[in-house]
């Protein structure tokens, strides 16, 4: 069966450390993968997109990797801040056009 | 830009009633998506449109759900009759034809069916 798995347990880290979130998938061959941030009571907000032929993408303190052999993406936030506390969702392009399938998300809490 | 606009923001209704959710996409966006989010199932794509035409409705749970896009600036998602298991947050999202991968989400409609 097709699955997208993110760590369902919340990730608590100390301010200034690097947060690493994992997205694993099975039985998909996505052309690209995206990461979104979702705050309570709000809709998801797009952060980064990485294509199947890219290994790594960076944007400011964010870095995402994509390993199509392992079927895994890692999402890193360096020098984390309390304002980074949110739920982070990975999303795979799983069909023609723009069809996205989302993981269930990982809640990140950055403590002082 | 005002972003994606959804109404109502909250809806409480009784089982068996008809519910209509509304969405105004970002002006100039060619794609419109309807999602449902629950704790159990996460964020699920229900249907999406391109240039007002439904492209993929495979996520629509059953015949009680229907969606329309009569013009480029308006879409509705209707549930008739509603059931308690339809309780969820419903999101609308839109994207452009050029930067089509990036989806911009609305604030969502929180639906509670009693």
B72 token code pair? 């480029």
Residue A7 or B35, more confident: B35
Residue B92 · residue B75 · CB < 8 Å? yes
pLDDT of residue B100: 64
Residue matched to tokens 């990036």: B102
pLDDT of residue A9: 86
d(C-alpha B33, C-alpha A110), whole Å: 32
pLDDT of residue A98: 78
- CB contact under 8 Å between A43 and B106, yes or no, is yes
Query: What tens digit of pLDDT does each residue of A26-83 get?
Result: 988 888 999 999 999 999 999 999 999 999 999 999 999 999 999 999 999 999 999 9
Identify the residue among A43, A48, A91 best suited for mutation to test binding to B, counting B beta carbons within 10 A and taking the highest. A43
Query: What tens digit of pLDDT does each residue of B14-26 get?
Result: 999 999 999 999 9
End-to-end CA distance of chain A: 41
């Amino acid at each position: 069966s097709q699955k997208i798995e993110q760590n369902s347990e919340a990730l608590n880290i100390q301010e200034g450390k690097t947060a690493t979130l994992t997205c694993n998938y099975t039985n998909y061959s996505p052309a690209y993968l995206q990461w979104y941030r979702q705050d309570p009571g709000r809709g998801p907000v797009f952060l980064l997109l990485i294509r199947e032929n890219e290994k790594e993408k960076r944007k400011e303190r964010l870095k995402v990797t994509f390993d199509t052999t392992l079927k895994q993406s890692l999402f890193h936030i360096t020098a984390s801040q309390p304002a980074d506390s949110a739920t982070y969702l990975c999303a795979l392009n799983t069909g023609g056009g723009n069809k996205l399938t989302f993981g269930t998300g990982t809640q990140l809490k950055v403590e002082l | 830009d005002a972003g994606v606009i959804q109404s109502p923001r909250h809806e409480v209704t009784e089982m068996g009633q008809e519910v209509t959710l509304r969405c105004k996409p970002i002006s100039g966006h060619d794609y419109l998506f309807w999602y449902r989010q629950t704790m159990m199932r996460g964020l699920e794509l229900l249907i999406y449109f391109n240039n007002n035409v439904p492209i993929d409705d495979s996520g629509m749970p059953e015949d009680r759900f229907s969606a329309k896009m009569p013009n480029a600036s308006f879409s509705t998602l209707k549930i008739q009759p509603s059931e308690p298991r339809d309780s969820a947050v419903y999101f609308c999202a839109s994207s452009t034809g050029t930067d089509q991968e990036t989806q911009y989400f609305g604030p969502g409609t929180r639906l509670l069916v009693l």
